Amino acid sequence: MMLQFFKKINIAWIAGLIILSTILAYDVDNAYWDDYDKIIYWDVLSYYAYLPAIYIYHDITLSFIDKNPSLYGDKFWPEKPATGRYAIKTTMGLAFLYAPFFQVAHPVARMLGYEANGYSPPYKIALMLSAVFYLAVGLYFLKKVLERYFSQPVTAITLIAVTIGSNLLQYATAEATMPHSYNFALFSVFLYAGMKWHEKHNLSYSIFLGLLSGLIALIRPTNILIIIVFILWGVHDLNTLKERLLLFLKKYHLIAVMAVFFIIVWIPQLIYWKFISGSYWFYSYVGERFFFLHPHIIKGLFGYRKGWLLYTPMMALALIGIGMMYKRLKELFFPVLIFTVLNIYVILSWWSWWYGGGFGLRAFIDSYSLLAIPFAVFVSWALSRNVVVKTASVVLICALMALNIFQVKQYQMAIMHWDSMSEKAYWSIFLKLKQPANFDQLIEKPDIDKAMAGLSDHP
């Protein structure tokens, strides 16, 4: 009886519970909601700004800032278009995801005697819970996608390694309200819904994919690249490409439905921009741009300032897995490969290729749901080999996970600098929980003016 019970246990579920329990324990232990400059801070101030502006201050123009700049000046980061009205810099997509939790926190703050201003502890706790909730949703749907192609052990290892063994760990805990874990979740749901659409071609999935892709793009416009994966899902040669094009022509009405619902998600944003700036399209990142002719590929992948594969080496196994996919999971090889190449190129073409302060190159976290597939391909290959390869691969994954946990700890303790690491600085603190006395002389602060001009970010 006991043996049959253990055979029925879904170890991928156990993996998910381990991940979420770890994150919840971390959040409770650190109680960041008691810190003034935690949870609703930096970029989150802008993503979140729509909610207090609308529901508490009843003024989307943010004119109340001028009435009391000492009180509101550090809570909003607006731009000022030619109309003279304040414009919230970021798009409102993430505010949509925060909103249900904000709506619960607002009356709770009043009932418990906290200041109902949008920034007291009940609001912060609600936002932290929103991050945990959406991460759980993401893990659930990623599990369902992985189980379509891989065994329970492979799925479980992949879920734990991609979450705990990457910089997603930092952005699911200490900086959970940043957009990355939310985007990770949305990508997971998109992959599952896209997979189901290609099985059923029905109206409900078409509507859902339109809404979902619109929301993904509304949070981070460059993430619209995920559409490539939907278009090429299952395409592995010219014949299947022709079949896909014919399918889209045959189901043109469903594609049109997706486009319509994609636009519907954007309507509130377009109306807001029109009201604030006088135009339906307002570019709020003044002076910031992409340099597509000068991407920082090498620095972005391997550089000491923020190199993705240096600070998140676990994802190198996912990139290796892409190469293995052509033989082991051919139907997904091209969509994963093309998306990954374009995603790397676009992300590392941004003027601030290191994406400001943070642990590692956080812009890549959004795509970890997709990269979990080639990672699982690598794990599946490793577990199918002889005992030496199998053991070495498990040890490697465990070692990379331990390294990631340690480096996250270094970052949280401010031992690792948030944007100015150099080769000398990196090795001076490698596997250490204390900076050398001359650490400030070893770091290399980025030259913002040069970077914004498309030049080297070094001083």
pLDDT tens for residues 301-310? Answer: 999 999 999 9
Q: Inform me whether the pLDDT recorded for 62 exceeds 60.
A: yes
Q: For position 178, what pLDDT does the model report?
A: 96
**Most distant CA pair in the chain, distance:** 73
**Cα distance between residue 424 and residue 183, in whole Å:** 33
Q: Express each pLDDT in 123-182 by its tens digit.
A: 999 999 999 999 999 999 999 999 999 999 999 999 999 999 999 999 999 899 999 999
- Residue 19 pLDDT grade (very low, low, confident, very high; cuts 50, 70, 90): confident
191 touches 229 (CB < 8 A): yes
Domain ranges of the chain: 33-124, 151-281+291-452
Residue 131 tokens read as 């991050």
Q: For position 29, what pLDDT does the model report?
A: 60
**Cα distance between residue 403 and residue 401, in whole Å:** 5
216 touches 183 (CB < 8 A): yes
The DSSP secondary structure of 292-331, one letter per residue, reads TTS--HHHHHH-TTT-HHHH-THHHHHHHHHHHHHHHSHH
- Residue 7 pLDDT grade (very low, low, confident, very high; cuts 50, 70, 90): very low
Residue type, 122: P
The DSSP secondary structure of 195-250, one letter per residue, reads HHHHHH--HHHHHHHHHHHHHHHHH-GGGGGGHHHHHHTT--SHHHHHHHHHHHHH
Q: Express each pLDDT in 85-126 by its tens digit.
A: 899 999 999 999 999 999 999 999 999 999 999 999 999 999
96 touches 215 (CB < 8 A): yes
What average pLDDT score do residues 389-407 get? 96
Q: For position 34, what pLDDT does the model report?
A: 67
Coil/strand/helix, residue 63: coil
Q: For position 401, what pLDDT does the model report?
A: 96
Q: Express each pLDDT in 259-314 by its tens digit.
A: 999 999 999 999 999 999 999 999 989 889 999 999 999 999 999 999 999 999 99
What average pLDDT score do residues 68-78 get? 76
Handedness of CA 47, 51, 54, 56 (dihedral sign): negative
Q: Express each pLDDT in 355-364 by its tens digit.
A: 999 999 999 9
Element (H, E) at 78: strand 78-79
**Packed helices 203-219 and 93-111: angle between N→C axes, nearest 10 degrees:** 80
Q: For position 12, what pLDDT does the model report?
A: 75
What average pLDDT score do residues 403-416 get? 95
**Cα distance between residue 450 and residue 448, in whole Å:** 6
Report the first-to-last Cα separation within the chain, whole angstroms: 68
Q: Inform me whether the pLDDT recorded for 76 exceeds 90.
A: no
Instruction: Note every long-range contact of 105-111, with CB atoms under 8 Å and residues 24 or more positions apart, other chains counting.
Output: 106/55, 106/56
Q: Phi and psi of 78, rounded to 5°?
A: -85, 160
Instruction: Note every long-range contact of 245-254, with CB atoms under 8 Å and residues 24 or more positions apart, other chains counting.
Output: 247/201, 251/201, 254/201, 254/202, 254/203, 254/206
**Cα distance between residue 376 and residue 237, in whole Å:** 23
- Residue 33 pLDDT grade (very low, low, confident, very high; cuts 50, 70, 90): low
Q: Which one-letter DSSP state was computed for residue 119?
A: -
The number of angstroms, rounded, from the C-alpha of 387 to the middle of its chain's C-alpha atoms is 35
Q: What integer best gives the mean pLDDT of the chain?
A: 92
Q: Inform me whether the pLDDT recorded for 5 exceeds 60.
A: no
Q: For position 42, what pLDDT does the model report?
A: 87
Burial (Cβ within 10 Å: 0-12, 13-18, ≥19) of residue 449 = exposed
Which pTM does this prediction carry?
Answer: 0.94
Facing residues of 350 across strands?
A: 290
Q: Inform me whether the pLDDT recorded for 3 exceeds 90.
A: no
What average pLDDT score do residues 375-381 get? 98
Percent of the chain at pLDDT > 70 equals: 95
**Cα distance between residue 309 and residue 307, in whole Å:** 6
